[in-house]
Structure 1
């Protein structure tokens, strides 16, 4: 089921939640709506579901206008952050609920309901919990049951609103890998909302980065991370260092260092550099800047170094694999030189925090 979103606008009083959103979602795609709180991603998901009505614009399912179609007739499955399971029902009855409340002429037989529910519980690897109640399950198990219940009605579209947001980090990582495998098996057109950059980049086929009711960029996880279309995308997707600089004759200058900036006109500018794109040396080699190391912290397989630029006193963060650091053994208080391998430069007047 493909979805076309055309010119969607939505206001809540004086607040603009969505500002002329256009988006095509391909059949069988797993798409992430990514952005900070208040950017409009959940409002857009609810409009796709039919739980919210746009002020203007159209939603088309497989070419058919469903803008005014009731949520019950859209054939969507919805998974919320907080499970929304019926506490008084067993796992089996929770999954069967959507089938049991169908109109009599489309309601499956009891035998068919039983077969379908056990098939779905097997799919989410929880068939052995059929007789338990939600209170007896872990958070990860509850969310998998919520997904099985959403799939029971055989939706053409699956919508997930921060599905793993209420879970701890380890369970969240396990479930998003599981969701990716499940999607690869079922190929249901799926849209999920998240503010977790790592989650979106790991799970989705494409990522839609949203900010203040608008789409900043649409692309594959690699594209939005490696080729950010705006300063907002660059900052939102992972850690980043900001250098104040000046562009002259196609080059951004920071102290004695220079980087190509072919798309930026001369004048004040800012350069963005990822921490893992910074080399550190004890001798000044080529395009390097003098810094003093303030703090060194080992975080899992990485070592993070916080430094101060000698010329401007700006804080810079660099990261390197733990084994690379082991051969260098930098010390806090040591004066060294940093050399960004690549930088993205924006004109100063185009930049806003």
Structure 2
């Protein structure tokens, strides 16, 4: 089922949670609503579900206006962060609950309910837990049971609100891969809320980045990460170093360093350049004006990579660089080492509204 979100506004008192939000979700698509706390992502999800009413705008399901349709009539399955399982019911009874409370004329027989529950338990790979209670399950198992319960009523739309937020990092990683495989098998139109950038980029077909009640960017994970539309998106999707300088004669002037920029960027007396930690090389030998002198402050091994914190010699801030461990070992760096930083890639955003990015390889 396709979903169309038209001109949605929502305020809570003076706080404007959503400001003119427009979004189209294709049938069978898995979309992530990504953003910081308070950006409006959960409010938008609840409006889609019918748990909140917009102040203005419309929600369309498969082309039909569902804005005033009651939540029970929307054919939506909802998975919450904290499972919301009935503690006094077994796993089997939790999944069967939505089928058993249907009106008599649409309620399946006990035999049909039993067959459906066991099919769902097989789907989430937990059939052996049917007679256990929620308190006897791990967090990851509870969340899979919550998902099976949401799927039991055969929803046309599946909505997930921070579904893995209460789990530890290892379990979260396993479950999001499992969710992606499950979605590829079922093709239920799905929308999930997360503040975890890695989760959104790994699981979703498209990512919707929200900030202060507005959509900053919509795109595939690759497009959003590689071609961020605004400084906010760029900084929210991973660690970033900011270099303040100017654009002069087609070059980025950062302190005494002069870095070539392809194309013909216009002159700016003030500019901010962006580079991720893995996009900066550390040189031991002075290449002249094409690098920024710095001193190593701290070194943190992070598994296959090493994070290095450096202080610029001109006193204009700290820079973080990530190197592959083998590259780090070759450089023989230590605290206090004098080095030179050379960004391989700089991004430059428009001065006025910050909405037009330019990728520059330095």
Q: Is TM more than 0.5 here?
A: yes
1:102 maps to 2:102: yes
Measured in 2, the distance between the counterparts of 1:204 and 1:346 equals: 26
Please name the residue that 1:79 is paired with: 79
| Paired residues of 2:259 and 2:291 also in contact (CA < 8 A) | no
Deviation at residue 327 of structure 1 after TM alignment: 1.7
| Paired residues of 1:250 and 1:266 also in contact (CA < 8 A) | no
Judging changes above 3 Å, is the alpha-carbon distance between structure 1 residues 12 and 262 closer, same or farther for their aligned structure 2 residues?
farther
| Paired residues of 1:33 and 1:192 also in contact (CA < 8 A) | yes
Measured in 2, the distance between the counterparts of 1:264 and 1:274 equals: 23
3-state SS of paired residue (1:327): helix
Measured in 2, the distance between the counterparts of 1:259 and 1:56 equals: 49
Measured in 2, the distance between the counterparts of 1:47 and 1:5 equals: 10
Residues 272-351 of structure 1 mapped to structure 2, 5 A cutoff: 272-285=274-287, 287-346=290-349, 350=353
Judging changes above 3 Å, is the alpha-carbon distance between structure 1 residues 263 and 62 closer, same or farther for their aligned structure 2 residues?
farther
3-state SS of paired residue (1:106): coil
Please name the residue that 2:258 is paired with: 257
Deviations 1:96-120 (A, max 9, x none): 0000000000000000000000000
Judging changes above 3 Å, is the alpha-carbon distance between structure 1 residues 90 and 264 closer, same or farther for their aligned structure 2 residues?
farther
Please name the residue that 1:247 is paired with: 247
Please name the residue that 1:268 is paired with: 270
| Paired residues of 1:264 and 1:346 also in contact (CA < 8 A) | no
Q: What RMSD in Å do the two structures reach over aligned CA positions?
A: 1.4
Deviations 1:258-284 (A, max 9, x none): 242756652201111000000111012
Please name the residue that 2:168 is paired with: 168
Judging changes above 3 Å, is the alpha-carbon distance between structure 1 residues 342 and 59 closer, same or farther for their aligned structure 2 residues?
same
Please name the residue that 1:62 is paired with: 62
Measured in 2, the distance between the counterparts of 1:285 and 1:313 equals: 20
Unaligned runs of 5+ in 2: 356-362
Measured in 1, the distance between the counterparts of 2:282 and 2:21 equals: 43
User: TM-score with structure 1 length normalisation?
Assistant: 0.97
Deviation at residue 230 of structure 1 after TM alignment: 0.3
Residues 128-147 of structure 1 mapped to structure 2, 5 A cutoff: 128-147=128-147
Runs of 4+ with deviation above 4 angstroms: 261-265, 347-352
Measured in 2, the distance between the counterparts of 1:264 and 1:44 equals: 39
Please name the residue that 1:231 is paired with: 231
Deviation at residue 23 of structure 1 after TM alignment: 0.3
3-state SS of paired residue (1:181): helix
Measured in 2, the distance between the counterparts of 1:41 and 1:101 equals: 30
After TM superposition, the structure 1 stretch with the greater mean CA deviation from structure 2, 94-103 or 281-290, is 281-290
Deviations 1:186-244 (A, max 9, x none): 01000000000000001101000000000000001111111100000011000000011
User: TM-score with structure 2 length normalisation?
Assistant: 0.95
Deviation at residue 300 of structure 1 after TM alignment: 1.2
Judging changes above 3 Å, is the alpha-carbon distance between structure 1 residues 344 and 14 closer, same or farther for their aligned structure 2 residues?
same
3-state SS of paired residue (1:128): helix
3-state SS of paired residue (2:105): helix
3-state SS of paired residue (2:331): coil
